[in-house]
Amino acid sequence: MEDIVLKLAVIGAAGIAAQWFAWRLQLPAIVLLLAAGFIAGPATGFLDPATDFGDIYRPMVSIAVAIILFEGGLTLNFSEIRETSKAVRRIIMYAGPMVWGMGALAAHYIGGLSWPTAIVLGAILVVTGPTVIMPLLRQAQLDARPASLLRWEAIVNDPIGALFAVVAFEIILVYVGLHAADNLPLLFLSGFGLAIGAGWASAKFIVWTFVRGHVPEYLKAPVLLSSVVAVYALTNMVLEESGLLTVTIMGVVLANSRIASLTDMRRFKETITTLLVSGVFIILTASLSMDDIRSLDLGAALFVAVLLLVIRPVAIMLATIKSGATIQERILTSWIAPRGVVAVAVSGLFGTLLADAGVEDAGRMVAFTFAVVVTTIVLHGFTLKPLAAFLNLKKASKPGILLVGGSRWSTALAAKLKEADVPVMLADQNWNHLAEARLGSIPVYFGEVLSESAHHAIDPKRFSSLIATSDNDAYNALVCTDFGPELGRNHVFQIGRIDEKARQSLNFTLGGRPLTKEPVSFLDLREKLLAGWTFQLTRLTDEFGWKAYADSRPAGAIILLWIKPSGALVFAATAAGTPGANDRILGFALPKDDARAEAASQTARKAEATAAIKTAEGNDSVTIDETKGKTK
């Protein structure tokens, strides 16, 4: 008993450690998870999942895969697929069967596998792993269209590929005489129909119970999780692995329903999925034996090469003809198809079932699948970003600014930054604070930027800097503290006057840099804006340099930042030097005419004050003289 507990602890610790190192090193997490599983299993023999966990090994992995697919379905929103829906449908309906057929032929004639193993392997390799593609998409920063295409294909294709494997396995059982051929079409259609119907109906029932208040808030996430497992198990009783399609459809329906607490539940599911993905990859990799690895010969290497370089590109290019996808999107999709946890899990399941049915080389199917998984993860993980850049499918990489806190001052700043062609977004929890920005077509985020969902929706990597501009200094410091590790502490700024003693009592990692060299409070900035101060963008030249610009500024003008010709942003508060020719300086000051008028007004007021003082002094002297005269 203690041995099993120790092994579970090692799996959990190794999985989270791999995830953390992947985050720090900016590597695909699955690569490190596979390495951890190999060390724990084939290399050292510490883990032997089939022996260690016994009869619960396969059900445990199957339930974990179902939960992972359900969470993937929760990320699919129909509004994201409008422009790519035709291409996605064709990839699933046409490219999938083509990959299955050509993959089976290649596995038999090139890989040397028997027909039963080759047919099931071809079906399994239809899938593309969402557990791999999602982190890759976040790192690559693709445009919305190709990112949507790859994400939808990965999540929808996983259960479809598993069902293809079920059909292939049933055909093999009919071929060897273990099942009757008459029942096969009815079994498949009933299982497929039940999966779709059960997924839709269960999701609608959950929505109804949640909206009507039949489930308390603290029980919603547990009810959802247990419902996923129950629905998966029930549909699997009709047709093996049809439950994967059921839970995927269940997740998609829930993702497109308006449930107020869905964000909190999605956050809970993300946490569970991270743990499950980490554990499942380590367990499945550890289940490999050295004999399986040694079975990978030249034929296996040629099979993987043909699958990646011929089968997938041909299937995608043919299926997406006149689909609305551009040639660049089709080329990217034809290359990027990493396999993940579902392919490994399903191959392990059917490898065991085929071995039980008397297929001698069924064990080699797992090794072939692992070879495809490792190769695709490494190649696609390190080529997606440069290929997307080459095909011009990446988002604009110009440094942008995230403004937190909607006000007239921050809205005016956002408008000037947008005018300067600097990517900008204004975020606030108050919808009314964003009204002026929305009217000015400034990108906004309505919600709490400190929430987990905001970090996914906003994608901090789109921005190089953050400015916290709310009227609450403590909240500004909290926002800068939260975003500091992602953007870098030299790139998070806040407005507000901070007492020096209070600053010294705080940890140096709290808060952000002052936006201005002399800290200015929210109220001061608001008053200046109401007094007529504006944001001004000025380009320096060889003739009109920094000294001439500084001399031309009105008294009290605030220099915020300057924009280099490359688009890089330099904040004045932290700048080591001064701006040069062709730099554009963003300042906040009174317009020149208003400044002259203000200066003249101040001069007049001073003159009046001086005259009044002199008059008062003259009156005092006269009074004294009169007093002296009377005394005399």
Burial level of 406, CB count in 10 A (0-12/13-18/19+)?
buried
Is residue 286 pLDDT above 70, yes or no?
Answer: yes
- CA–CA separation, 520 and 522 (whole Å): 7
Percent of the residues in the chain that have a pLDDT greater than 70, as a whole number: 82
Amino acid at 303: F
Is residue 261 pLDDT above 90, yes or no?
Answer: no
Q: DSSP character for 26?
A: T
Nearest to 491 by CA among 400, 415, 422: 400
pLDDT, greater one: 307 or 553: 307
What are the tokens at 428?
Answer: 């606030």
β-pairing, 534-539 vs 401-404, is unpaired
Percent of the residues in the chain that have a pLDDT greater than 90, as a whole number: 19
Express each pLDDT in 134-174 by its tens digit: 767 766 777 778 887 888 888 777 777 777 877 787 778 77
The residues, ordered by sequence, that sit 6+ positions from 514 with a Cβ below 8 Å of its Cβ are 493, 494, 495, 496, 498, 573
Is residue 259 pLDDT above 90, yes or no?
Answer: no
Lowest mean pLDDT among 82-96, 184-198, 279-293, 596-610: 596-610
Could you tell me which CATH number the domain at 401-590 has? Answer: 3.40.50.720
At residue 177, the pLDDT reads: 63
Q: What is the mean pLDDT of residues 444-466?
A: 75
Lowest mean pLDDT among 142-146, 315-319, 457-461: 457-461
Q: How confident is the model at residue 360 (pLDDT cuts 50, 70, 90)?
A: confident
Burial level of 152, CB count in 10 A (0-12/13-18/19+)?
buried
Is residue 600 pLDDT above 60, yes or no?
Answer: no
Evaluate whether 203 touches 231 at the Cβ level (below 8 Å): no
Express each pLDDT in 362-377 by its tens digit: 878 888 988 998 899 8
Is residue 195 pLDDT above 90, yes or no?
Answer: no
β-pairing, 465-468 vs 401-404, is parallel
Could you tell me which CATH number the domain at 2-177+261-390 has? Answer: 1.20.1530.20
CA 336 from centre of chain: 18
Instruction: Give domain limits for the chain.
Output: 2-177+261-390, 401-590, 593-632
Is residue 602 pLDDT above 80, yes or no?
Answer: no
Is residue 79 pLDDT above 70, yes or no?
Answer: no
Q: What is the mean pLDDT of residues 288-297?
A: 79
Q: How confident is the model at residue 628 (pLDDT cuts 50, 70, 90)?
A: very low
Half-sphere exposure of 564 (CA within 13 A, CB side): 13
